[in-house]
Amino acid sequence: MPFYTYDLTSLLFMLPGVLVAAWAQAMVSGNFNKYSRVQSARCITGAEAARQILNSNGLSHIAIQHVSETLADHYDPGSKVVRLSDEVYNSTSLAAVAVAAHECGHAIQDAQEYQPMRWRSMLVPVVNVATQAGWVVLFAGLILSMYGLSVIGALLFCAALIFQLVTLPVEYNASSRALTLLEAEGILESGEIGGAKKVLSAAALTYVASVIATVLQLLNIVRMMLMYRRNRW
């Protein structure tokens, strides 16, 4: 008899991950909103801070673009562009300057061929395919009573966890570089670094939350597979 389940236990496995993710997002929003209202002493905008950091690190060729999406700040290694959102580009707040510096940290990682960043870039196409195929293969194996196929699906899903684990050092390193550069470049005064650190530390929690949620999903998958095997035999 085919076996598949998404019972109360599955929901209990998901709940901690959902709660951690919600808490991390609340921390991000709370700290960003708080320090968005605190203007930096030197009134340097996020875009100006990014330009200064990039130029001082020999990256004057990297463009800075203004994007309209909310908190869509990122560094695009393919186009060699730092993209800053409305909340960051023209703002002189501690939060804006911290976020802009963080994205410049990624640009510097790229220029210096920081290994974890290179690994993450190589994993992106693999993860996109593996995670989508993983769920299909997993549940196909369970529904069709093909245990070996479900194992393959679970292994494919592990690609998401590997990607998230590689992402952690990339993000924390970019934040560390950002805080060092903000003080070294004189963009923020020493007394302002603490606020910038809170903003970036809160943002990093979202990546930790993603790892926790994925681990819980994998544990639930293992539980489902063991139940399938027990029922089968």
Residues 6+ away with beta carbon under 8 Å from 47: 64, 66, 84, 88, 89, 90, 100
Which amino acid would we find at residue 64? I
The span from the CA of 34 to the CA of 155, in Å, is 42
The separation between CA 74 and the C-alpha centre of its own chain, rounded to angstroms, equals: 11
The span from the CA of 165 to the CA of 207, in Å, is 9
The catalytic position among 48, 87, 103, 171 is 103
- Residue 91 CB coordination number (10 Å): 21
Active site residue 103: yes
Residues with a catalytic annotation lie at: 103
